[in-house]
Structures are given as C-alpha cells and as structure tokens.
Chains A and B, each alone.
Chain A
C-alpha cells in the first residue's frame, strides 16, 4: 500500500452497537479499520447480517459510530451529502412511488436545486436498460428494474463517492453481467471512489481493486485481498484460471468453519 495519497474514506477502529427495544444492545461492528483511496473500488463480501450495510450506512452518514471515527476527505460524512457529491443505491431501492422512473432518476437534481439535465437522465435510463419505461411508476416495475433505476439515480449527479448495497441482487445472471460491464465502463472514465456490498464473489473480483471479507457477530474484517487483474477488464477475464483460483480462495474464506475441517 502506498501512503502517497491520503485515504479519501477512513474508518478508524470503528465499532457500532444498536440499542434494542428490550433495553439490550447488539454489537453490529467491532474494531473496523478501513481506508479507501481516492478513486479506489472496494468490494465487501460477507455472510448475511455481518454488518456490511452498517459499514455502508456509516460512510453515508446515516449512522454514527459508537466508538472510533468515520471521515471522508478528513471531514464528517454528512458534509459530502450536503455538497450533493454522494451517490447511494440502497439494498431496497427506495424509489418514490408517486414519481415516474425518469422523475425518480432526476430527483437528485431537484433536491440539489440545480437544473435537470434531461439528456443525462435519458442516457442513464438507456444505460440501465429501462428505455421504454421512463414514464412507468415503480409499482409497475420488477424488482430488478427498480434496482437498476436506483443505480441510475445514484449516478445521475456524477458523484465523487458511490455506495452500492447489493445493487444487482435481484437481477438475472445475464443482466447482472451486463450491468457489471457498464458499471466498470463508467467507473473507468472518471475518478469515483466506490464501495460495493455484494454476495457475488465473481462480481467482487471482476469490479474491485480490493476485496474486504467480513465475518459476523460481531462484524469484523476477516481478510483483505487485492485484485491483481489489470484494467480495463474484459469479461473474458472471468474464464481465466487465475480468476477461478481467486474465486475458490474467497469462497473458502467466506466459509471459515468448513475451511478448518
């Protein structure tokens, strides 16, 4: 790791516990140290409930750390949001039901109080494969289409930090691959610090510079792996033996109990 550029996003010995209604508290994260360099693409893998979304929400400024510190460019995460420089695609899409697809994707412009760039909205609609659905309401879309609309919305303001929480979870394999390739293309044209939470080892390796493997109860970082494949990555990289070896290694890391056998 070169320390020449300071980290764009830093989590320093962060822990997070939630107080439950019955008075007890649950520790979701413990001792998280994580840095993302400017323009770096980091993927987070881990079993369900290990705290991946919580890491993302801390960086988004939606939760505050119980101990430790979360900084973006040395400042509080909320400042990035206030400057309209943050793009988030949530696990449950969070589209507004009373707006059409195009209006949902244009919402960040309206919230930021800037003029809507209709050409860009249309270009993103095409990019995520929703041409012909620009005037449809979210209730008329499938789960995967809603996710794609929410990715377009996260990208529309051309953010500096992009947080994606299992954005391709509801997509079929072919659409998912297509979205992966498109995301890599966008990502290669500009400096975009990205955190991607995913359950797909393939996707993580194909897209990321670095992969964080987490374990649960409490959530910790188990491993960090740097992805060696040069960019731009062609989908053919997915068929190389090196790729398969890495998939096997990470899949094993995700099942520590079996690995110990």
Chain B
C-alpha cells in the first residue's frame, strides 16, 4: 500500500480518535460538563498510578475472565445449535424460534430468574454467554446457507457424500459470516458481563463502576469505563483483522 493509500484508509479513523480525546480533554479541563467529567489526562494518571493497580487489576481480572468464559460458552452453544439445525433440518424452525424468543427477552428481565437459579458470580458469565449465543447462532446458520449453488452443483456431480460436502464445501463457505459474528460478539460479551455484575457480584469492573458512582469517586469510575472500553476495542480490532483475512481467503 502506498503512503497515500494508507493515509486515505487509516487517516480518518485516527483523526476521529484524536478529536475524540481532544474533546474529552477540553470538556474535562474547562469543566464544561460539570464536576463529573474529568479531563482525559486525569483519568490516565489515575490508571497509571501504581497505588490503584491492585484494585483495578483484581476487578479487571474477574470481569475479563467472565467475558472470556461467556464468549467461549456462547460461541460453543451457538455453534452447536447451528450444527444441530444443519444435521437435523426439521429442528431448524423450532430452534430458530427458541433462540429468537430468548434473545427478545431483555437480559434485565431474566436477571431475577438467574439470581434464584445460580450464584451471583456466574450471572455475568450467563448473561454474556446468552447474548453471544444468539449472535453466533445467527451468523453460523446464515453462513451455512451461504454455499453457492454452482459449488453445490459441482459437489453433486463429483458424487460427494453429505459429510464430505459439509467439510469441504459448506464449512469453508460459512467461515466469512462466522468470522463477522465472532467479531461482533466481542462488545456484546463485554456488555453482558458488565451488566451481569450489577446483580450482586462481589467483584469486577461493572461493580467498581457502580460503587465508584455511588461514592463519587469520579476518576475511578472513568478509569473502569476506559479500561473496559479499550480492552473491548482492541479485541474487536484484532478480530476485525482476522475477519478481513478470512474474507480475503474464503470469498
């Protein structure tokens, strides 16, 4: 890529982020949004201060573990259900409706049910997994339907058995849609875990946000938010690269 093309491609997003940081800094520095909006540098300084590392580190460890577990569980269940609809085609309509129904029910409304069903510490994982399941299920089922008719014809004339056609054709054809789903599931898994912590978890970034808000620890509140957002964005970006690579190769 030439420098010009690079500028064209990465220039606007980088500029956008810089402008965002600048606006944050100015609003905070001049107290344009009141006392609850600190300058960006104050939040960064708070994050950098070793005195806060233990508190933030422990909370982040708990939350990120819940995110990872929710993401993996949701991906596993979503993939499993999608495979089931592929193997047992008549089950498709039923599973579709069930997944849509669960997705249409707000997680907040399900929270009380979770609270009597499971420990407070597993609720973040459960809500995160639930949201990811839906996304991955939709991505995988639509991916499994993305096989081109011409390719399916080819496999029929080659006398492919169903399992062969699945491995060599349907699965590779499904990868682009699946990779997009895996990327989109990242912020969803973070949201699920953070919200899940608001239902009585004893530790975590979500809990830290709530308690910092109630105790008016403004820099702590923003530090927790920034830490969550940055981690989510970085993972989203990495999976975006993965997605781009899959799309280049499999489409």
A residues with a Cβ closer than 8 A to B are 57, 60-62, 78, 81-84, 86, 88, 90, 92, 94, 96-98, 107-108, 110-113, 163
Contact = CB atoms under 8 A, between A and B. Distances in A.
Interface string B153-191: 111111110001000110010000000000000000000
Contacts, number: 56
A86 B154 contact: no
A86 B150 contact: no
B151 interface: yes
Given A81-B159, A112-B158, 4 more contacts: A62-B156, A94-B150, A98-B250, A111-B158
B249 interface: yes
Contact of A88 (B154, B164, B169, B251): B154
B168 A86 contact: no
Contact of A90 (B150, B160, B164): B150
A85 to B, nearest CB: 8
Chain B interface, >50% SS class? helix
Given A92-B150, A94-B150, A98-B249, A61 B157 contact: yes
B153 A90 contact: yes
Contacts of A83: 159
A111 B164 contact: yes
Nearest to A83: B159
Given A110-B168, A111-B164, A111-B168, A97 B250 contact: yes
A138 B7 CA distance: 30
Contact of A111 (B153, B155, B249, B251): B155
A72 to B, nearest CB: 12
A24 B156 CA distance: 28
The 10 tightest CB contacts between A and B, nearest first, are: A94-B150, A81-B159, A111-B158, A82-B159, A88-B157, A94-B154, A111-B160, A98-B250, A84-B159, A60-B157
13 contacts: A61-B156, A62-B153, A81-B156, A84-B159, A86-B157, A86-B159, A90-B153, A90-B154, A94-B154, A97-B251, A111-B155, A111-B160, A163-B157
